[in-house]
Amino acid sequence: MASGRSNFSIRHQPGFTTVAVLCFALLYLPIVTLVVFAFNAGRSVAIWEGFSLRWFEAAWNNERVIEASIRSVQIASVAAVVATIAATMAALATTRTRPYRGLTFKYAFINQPLMIPEIVTAVALLIVFARIKVATGYSGLGYLIVAHTAFCIPFAYLPIRARLESMDLTLETAAADLYATPWKVFTRVTLPLLWPGIIAGLMLAFVISLDDVVITEFVKSGGQDTLPTYMLGQLRRLVTPEMNAISTVFLLISILIVTVFFFISRRST
């Protein structure tokens, strides 16, 4: 009797493992197909005609792709750095304190970009920036950088705040007791301890900015394509594996950053 039930697992549910495995497979099937056909010798994205790097070469020699990539990195770098600095300051101001008036207001304010659908923010920025462009005559990358910085702040804020909340004030108090100036306490104690959170926030913000399509599509002026908006424009035509090649490189960079992020945040918890 007892031996009959020895295989009985209370955790088992029939069919769940099958669905889960199917899910993992389906989640990766399109991505793997995309990457595989980037190396196709033919023009098809479904029929394999042999291995070739010609589409990577084509992408590399495509001036518009390179230009858009550089612009993407420029915007993401500036936006991520500014957003991370602002988010770090905001996190210091909203953690490790007794609740004070306006604290909830600050939380809501900082997380607001996450709550509004992107398309709504996009048209809102279109309206406002169109006016400013006419009024000032300036139509540079500044608009895109400001827009990206704003929606990067909540993403940078999350890991920094989480890190701060796991640090208590003992070490800072000890340093202050030993006559360290507030600035010294910050640079010698708080900042080194907070560093993993800041790096995680910076990387998250960078990836989020790099990935953005909707807001960029509405804010950009003519000739300001980033890599995602360039790709969006190309998808209307018949696509060649060149798009797969571009996507593959893009994916690789994202996965690399996310992997590093994952290990940093795992080590710090």
Partner 1 sequence: MSQTAETARKAEHDDVRKRWLLSAPALAIIFMASIGPLLVVVVYSFLTPGPYGDVKWAFSTDAWISVFLQRDIFEGTLGIADAHLQIFLRSVRLSLFTTIATLAFGFPTAYFIATRPQRTQALWLFVITIPFWTNLLIRTFAVQEVIRNEGILNTALVGLGIISAPIQILYTDWAIAIGMIYVYLPLMVLPLYASMEKLDFRLVEAGYDLYATRFRVLTRIIVPLVKPGIVAGSILVFIPSLGAYVTPRVLGGGKQMMLGNLIELQFGAGRNWPLGAALALTLTVIVMVALLFYVRYAAQSERRHG
Residues 1-60 within binding reach of partner 1 (CB under 8 A): 8, 10-24, 26-31, 33-34, 37, 44-47
Is the CB of residue 55 less than 8 Å from the CB of residue 40?
yes
Q: Which phi and psi angles does 51 have, rounded to 5°?
A: -80, 140
Q: Within positions 100 to 119, which residues make up the interface with partner 1, using CB under 8 A?
A: 100-102, 106, 109-110, 112-113, 115-119
Nearer to partner 1 by Cβ, of 66 and 258: the residue is 258
Among 54, 214, 221, 264, binds partner 1 (CB under 8 A): 214
Applying CB under 8 A, which part among 49-57, 63-71, 170-178, 252-260 lies near partner 1? Answer: 252-260
Applying CB under 8 A, which part among 53-61, 83-91, 166-174, 190-198 lies near partner 1? Answer: 83-91
What's the min distance (Å) between Cβ of 55 and partner 1?
Answer: 13
Among 41, 58, 81, 86, binds partner 1 (CB under 8 A): 86
Q: Within positions 224 to 243, which residues make up the interface with partner 1, using CB under 8 A?
A: 228, 231-232, 235, 239, 243
254 sits near partner 1 (criterion: CB under 8 A): yes
Residue among 116, 54, 86 at smallest CA distance from 198: 86
191 sits near partner 1 (criterion: CB under 8 A): no
What tokens appear for 96 in the block? 């490790």
In this structure, the number of other CB atoms found within 10 A of the CB of residue 264 comes to 17
Applying CB under 8 A, which part among 59-67, 166-174, 188-196, 204-212 lies near partner 1? Answer: 204-212
Among 65, 147, 158, 245, binds partner 1 (CB under 8 A): 147
Whole-angstrom distance, CA of residue 52 vs CA of residue 57:
10
Nearer to partner 1 by Cβ, of 195 and 262: the residue is 262
